[in-house]
A and B are shown apart, each in its own frame.
Chain A
Amino acid sequence: MPVPILEPQRLPNGLLWLARPVAGAQAAVRVVYRCGGRDDPTGRSGLSHLVLRLIAGASRYLEPGQFQRLIASAGGRSRLEVDEDFSALQTVVPAHQLERLLWAEAERMSNPRIDPDTLASARLQLRQAVQEPQLNPYARLDLAVQRQGYLTHPYQRGALGDPDQLKEVDVETVRAFHAARFGCDRALLVVTGAFDEATLSRWVMHYFGSIRAPMPGQGAASAAASSASSPSFALPASDAGSSPPTPGSAPLPAPASAASPPRASMPPASGADARDFREARRPQNQTLKLSLARAPLPAAALVWQMPRADDPSTPMWQMARALLGLGRSGRLTDTLVDEKALAHQLSLRLEQHRDAGLMVVQALAAHGQTAAPLAQALQQEVLRLADEPVTDEELDKAKAMLKRETLSVEWTADRLARALGTAWAVRGDAGAPARDMAVWVKLSGAELQQFWRKQVVQAPVLTLLADIGAAAGVAA
């Protein structure tokens, strides 16, 4: 199967951009900064999120709310995304409004307004965004998966951040972080939809090519200045925003220890950072119990460590997910929901990031069940994949679902922009999903089972048991 080449182009100022046509009446623009929760300074969790909200909020020529009005008047919709690995702004408009949108995105990229008023407003928005998921009675379980699933990596903190750690952060600190991490040479611009390619190239060069590249050393100097004025400010290292790592090409440093959080490190002048974080290996199985005071049904989660997102084994994990967790006939649903009625609902998700990942199998118990037997049954079903043969029919069904999932991102400008930008930021390769497909279409059941025995059956697992009511054991 031919794999399309999706190589971004680089403007003289370092900004990467990528365009893909999609038939229809719309165009999407996604601006991705390769800076997310993992890059937040120690003690300043959420700083990337805060900066993204400031970029989205106002700029020199766009008053607060003006971008939203501009897009609304064009008939478009806009959103922002915060991730552990990246921060992104995405807007979809009718295709004839594309040039205006490019102007506005270039304006937001180059001239964000960071002052006390916009900072206060962004802080408030951030607090709201952090609190909304906490309405869910199972929010603590999700939090525990993140905090306990990773042993040493800053991914433990999540992407949204902690509003309390940002209460005292001042304008200069935010500006310094913006200068260090959100320069145009650390970003990717993705344009998808209905457009003329030559005209688009001209617009991109005009509006984005005119943004000045960060001054050599600007990021480091700015960060250093902030660091001096704020002892707790420390920038963790990350790799280059504009130079995605090639799988297996860069030697990785020693793992950070859980006892010593990531040390401060200034990004080099070129914007290419020196080191990645590396997650420690879980030494043994671990079981934690937590109490969910508001939850009406017990729940359980099993967490296995996964390699980083650009690992060559990623297609294997995807195929296993399809067999176990996709659709109504996935093995987990078939056995635990329909056959044994142990679970009310369940999910299997792959949380793949630049430096590390987790496979999370999570379920809510059916009425009358408790967390421990549910977790045991979940684990048995996951491990059974290594032993019970995968029939050709089962494999074909899983491939059909994966294929539909992969190809469907190309159907709309909105989906494609998101998929390309995310693959670039997380995997360093906008064309990674197509490459995955080329691998898993050839995969046999026996190969998958061999992989599963080695990667999952023999690997330690974290079990989180959430019974309702009184606390029992460690509160995560």
Chain B
Amino acid sequence: MTLDLNRRGWMVGAALASGAAAWPALAQDGFDRPPEAPPAPVPPPLTIEQARLPNGLRIVVLPRPGAPRTAIRLIGEGGWLRDPAGKEGLAEVALSMLAQGAKRDGEEMESADIAYAADLLGLPLRLELTPSTAEIALEALPDQCDDAVNLMADLTQRPQLAFEALEHIRSRAADALVLRRADALLLAPWAARRQFWGRAQPVQTSASLKRLRREDVLAFHRQYWRPERAVLVFAGDLTLQAARGLAEDFMGDWRVPKAAPAGPTPALALATATPAATAAQFVSLPQGQGCRLIVQTPVPRGTPPALRELARTLMHQRLAAKLPWPWESEMESLGGGLCWRMSVTLPAPAVPEQLALLKEQLPLLSAEAVTPEDLAMAQALALGDWQAQLAEAPDEGLAAAIAAGGLDDFLQWPQRTKAVSAPVLQLLMSASWRENRTHLLLLGDAGAPAPAQRAWPGLTLATMRAVIGE
């Protein structure tokens, strides 16, 4: 290959020497366009192995040969959508209390013992709450997986759930709540969900936290941590046989209640909820020096995950090209209902102009024809993100798929995204982001309201109480 060591030298030096602002038109054969990429290799099939213990506990193994550590995750059903009416926050408190005390071989383990046992594995215990699941995650070296599974068994089968722990966790949850209210970034997803789903969306308040009793926690735990409804996930260098052996050793005697325990009833199943009437609201947080802008639109129930992801990706690209800010976007599934959300932080002076542009562009961008290049780009991005997640945190992707009931979609992601056609994608996109289906929420400091209201007619000032109920 011939090397042209001087091919780019004209740039800064020449421009400066000549004082020219224009670009010198020098031919640079071979460097003016990117080389062709070879055809994309077909991703190797992603396979999982599964088994069930006699007590119903499901075991899922994602083999990662050569992985130095194994990610382990126990998934239960007590997500925050299960919060009973008036006791919002119960799912979070019940999950946090698991790490506050448990028993092993009849001996008490205090919170410090639990924390130490997990940290000794190399990574702290993580307690993660999603809309539909409560999860305990650990990571261990191959010869420490028994310690990790043993600890998970202690926490879920023999938790103390003591009154003192409830008070400690309640106090921490209350502090977290006041922090969330003061920070537009933390507040945004909750306020946006409440705006979109209305009162169907459980949002914890200081009053709902105060109402929690130890009996509520015990009942919630009994109702949702049950072996026949739990999933134990492994991602690492181990076989199904080894994983099953660990589960049998430590969770084999996890008993199934003979009758389904009576527990608190969730406030509302979002499976039957419909989005609230569209609204455009501005909640002022003083001295914010910036503003969180969120737009949301409904997506038809039952839209396949691959199609959703391609639509989200393509719209994100189009929006970022037209309004070049660091947008974030997601499609959130809450109990089957689907919300497509895009958000960004803007400096206050930029809000009116960007709002006007957004109002004009959203319907145009979503109605734009989906070209073969658009489709290929969205498919490539969806595949690349999937590969990145498999490399970075395979257990998280697997857990999210299990929680959403979309394990097959996750495993066959390359094929599912390839199967989406441009007309179908076009149909979904053009049905979204219409003016009468778009919600707007501004949180923070957007300057005087009048310019923003001119840019987005119908924008009303709202209080925190009106949006999140307290």
Contacts of A60 in B (CB 8 A): 11, 23
User: Is A211 within 8 A of B69, CB to CB?
Assistant: no
Binds B, one of A67-75, A250-258, A454-462: A67-75
Q: Name the distance in Å between B8's Cβ and chain A's nearest Cβ.
A: 4
User: Is B391 within 8 A of A25, CB to CB?
Assistant: yes
Type the 1/0 row for B134-146, where 1 means its CB is closer than 8 Å to any CB of A. Answer: 0000010000000
User: Is A341 within 8 A of B168, CB to CB?
Assistant: yes
User: Is A128 within 8 A of B183, CB to CB?
Assistant: no
Q: Output the residue of B373, B377, B382 with the most chain A CB within 10 A.
A: B377
Contacts of A281 in B (CB 8 A): none
Near A by CB (< 8 A), chain B positions 20-52 give 21, 23, 31-35, 37-41, 43
Contacts of A413 in B (CB 8 A): 391
Known contacts A111-B11, A328-B99, A412-B391; decide if A100 and B37 are in contact (CB<8 Å). Answer: yes
In the complex, what distance in Å separates the CA atom of A107 from the CA atom of B32? 9
Binds A, one of B170-178, B218-226, B227-235, B397-405: B170-178
Q: Which of A103, A179, A296 contacts B16 (CB 8 A)?
A: A179
B275 at interface, CB cutoff 8 A: no
User: Is B175 within 8 A of A397, CB to CB?
Assistant: no
User: Is B178 within 8 A of A296, CB to CB?
Assistant: yes
Q: Name the distance in Å between A275's Cβ and chain B's nearest Cβ.
A: 25
B337 at interface, CB cutoff 8 A: no
User: Is A103 within 8 A of B34, CB to CB?
Assistant: yes
User: Is B122 within 8 A of A135, CB to CB?
Assistant: no
User: Is A175 within 8 A of B175, CB to CB?
Assistant: no
User: Is B4 within 8 A of A210, CB to CB?
Assistant: yes
CB nearest to B393 among chain A residues: A412
Q: Name the distance in Å between A421's Cβ and chain B's nearest Cβ.
A: 18
In the complex, what distance in Å separates the CA atom of A157 from the CA atom of B355? 32
How many of A's residues come within 8 Å of B, CB to CB? Answer: 96
User: Is A212 within 8 A of B9, CB to CB?
Assistant: yes
Contacts of A265 in B (CB 8 A): none
Contacts of A211 in B (CB 8 A): 7-9
User: Is B290 within 8 A of A131, CB to CB?
Assistant: yes
Contacts of A70 in B (CB 8 A): 34
Known contacts A94-B40, A397-B116, A397-B119; decide if A178 and B12 are in contact (CB<8 Å). Answer: yes
Known contacts A99-B37, A297-B178; decide if A328 and B118 are in contact (CB<8 Å). Answer: yes
B459 at interface, CB cutoff 8 A: no
User: Is A338 within 8 A of B347, CB to CB?
Assistant: no
Contacts of A132 in B (CB 8 A): 290, 326, 345
Q: Name the distance in Å between B14's Cβ and chain A's nearest Cβ.
A: 10
User: Is B388 within 8 A of A338, CB to CB?
Assistant: no
Known contacts A100-B37, A132-B345, A294-B287; decide if A400 and B120 are in contact (CB<8 Å). Answer: yes
Type the 1/0 row for A21-44, where 1 means its CB is closer than 8 Å to any CB of B. Answer: 001111000000000000000000
Q: Name the distance in Å between A104's Cβ and chain B's nearest Cβ.
A: 6
B424 at interface, CB cutoff 8 A: no
CB nearest to B21 among chain A residues: A115
User: Is B347 within 8 A of A26, CB to CB?
Assistant: no
B181 at interface, CB cutoff 8 A: yes
In the complex, what distance in Å separates the CA atom of A96 from the CA atom of B41? 8
Q: Which of A99, A209, A326 contacts B35 (CB 8 A)?
A: A99
Q: Which of B12, B124, B347 contacts A328 (CB 8 A)?
A: B124
Known contacts A61-B32, A128-B326; decide if A297 and B179 are in contact (CB<8 Å). Answer: yes
A92 at interface, CB cutoff 8 A: yes
CB nearest to B33 among chain A residues: A61
Interface size band for B: 35 or more
Contacts of B326 in A (CB 8 A): 128-129, 132
User: Is B380 within 8 A of A73, CB to CB?
Assistant: yes
User: Is B182 within 8 A of A137, CB to CB?
Assistant: yes
CB nearest to B321 among chain A residues: A65
Known contacts A209-B5, A210-B7, A334-B115; decide if A404 and B123 are in contact (CB<8 Å). Answer: yes
In the complex, what distance in Å separates the CA atom of A77 from the CA atom of B111? 40
B292 at interface, CB cutoff 8 A: yes
Type the 1/0 row for A109-129, where 1 means its CB is closer than 8 Å to any CB of B. Answer: 011110110000100110111
CB nearest to B11 among chain A residues: A111
User: Is A68 within 8 A of B320, CB to CB?
Assistant: yes
B274 at interface, CB cutoff 8 A: no
Type the 1/0 row for A272-307, where 1 means its CB is closer than 8 Å to any CB of B. Answer: 000000000000000000000111110000000000
User: Is A77 within 8 A of B16, CB to CB?
Assistant: no
A464 at interface, CB cutoff 8 A: no
User: Is B384 within 8 A of A135, CB to CB?
Assistant: no
In the complex, what distance in Å separates the CA atom of A128 from the CA atom of B286? 18
Known contacts A97-B37, A100-B37, A134-B290; decide if A69 and B377 are in contact (CB<8 Å). Answer: yes
A202 at interface, CB cutoff 8 A: yes
User: Is A12 within 8 A of B5, CB to CB?
Assistant: yes
In the complex, what distance in Å separates the CA atom of A131 from the CA atom of B67? 40
Q: Output the residue of A132, A205, A222, A225 with the most chain B CB within 10 A.
A: A132
In the complex, what distance in Å separates the CA atom of A4 from the CA atom of B136? 35
CB nearest to A113 among chain B residues: B23
Type the 1/0 row for A204-238, where 1 means its CB is closer than 8 Å to any CB of B. Answer: 01110111101100100010010000000000000
A10 at interface, CB cutoff 8 A: no
Near A by CB (< 8 A), chain B positions 331-384 give 345-347, 350, 373, 376-377, 380-384
Type the 1/0 row for A400-425, where 1 means its CB is closer than 8 Å to any CB of B. Answer: 11011001000111110000000000
Q: Name the distance in Å between A138's Cβ and chain B's nearest Cβ.
A: 9
Near A by CB (< 8 A), chain B positions 259-294 give 285-290, 292
Known contacts A26-B387, A175-B15, A328-B125; decide if A397 and B176 are in contact (CB<8 Å). Answer: no
User: Is B99 within 8 A of A128, CB to CB?
Assistant: no
User: Is B172 within 8 A of A401, CB to CB?
Assistant: no
Q: Name the distance in Å between A99's Cβ and chain B's nearest Cβ.
A: 5
Known contacts A73-B376, A179-B16; decide if A338 and B112 are in contact (CB<8 Å). Answer: yes
In the complex, what distance in Å separates the CA atom of A112 from the CA atom of B12? 8
CB nearest to B322 among chain A residues: A65
User: Is B99 within 8 A of A104, CB to CB?
Assistant: no
A176 at interface, CB cutoff 8 A: yes
A147 at interface, CB cutoff 8 A: no
In the complex, what distance in Å separates the CA atom of A135 from the CA atom of B118? 34
User: Is A179 within 8 A of B288, CB to CB?
Assistant: no
Known contacts A334-B115, A367-B174, A397-B119; decide if A135 and B182 are in contact (CB<8 Å). Answer: no
Chain A interface (Cβ within 8 Å of chain B)? Answer: 12-13, 23-26, 60-61, 65, 68-70, 72-77, 92-94, 96-97, 99-100, 103-104, 106-107, 110-113, 115-116, 121, 124-125, 127-129, 131-132, 134-137, 171, 175-176, 178-179, 202, 205-207, 209-212, 214-215, 218, 222, 225, 293-297, 326-330, 333-334, 338-339, 341, 344, 364, 366-367, 396-397, 400-401, 403-404, 407, 411-415
Chain B interface (Cβ within 8 Å of chain A)? Answer: 1, 3-9, 11-13, 15-16, 21, 23, 31-35, 37-41, 43, 66-69, 99, 111-112, 114-116, 118-125, 139, 168, 171-172, 174-176, 178-179, 181-185, 285-290, 292, 317, 320-321, 324-326, 345-347, 350, 373, 376-377, 380-385, 387-388, 390-392, 444
26 A–B contact pairs at CB < 8 A? A25-B387, A73-B373, A74-B384, A94-B40, A121-B324, A128-B326, A128-B350, A131-B289, A135-B345, A136-B185, A179-B13, A202-B1, A205-B3, A210-B4, A212-B5, A215-B13, A225-B16, A326-B124, A327-B115, A329-B116, A334-B115, A364-B179, A366-B171, A367-B178, A397-B119, A403-B122
User: What 6 pairs across the A-B complex have the smallest Cβ distances?
Assistant: A212-B9, A75-B384, A404-B122, A75-B380, A328-B115, A110-B8
Query: A132-B290, A414-B391 known; 11 other A-B pairs, CB under 8 Å?
Result: A12-B5, A75-B384, A92-B384, A94-B380, A106-B31, A128-B346, A136-B183, A178-B12, A210-B8, A339-B112, A400-B120
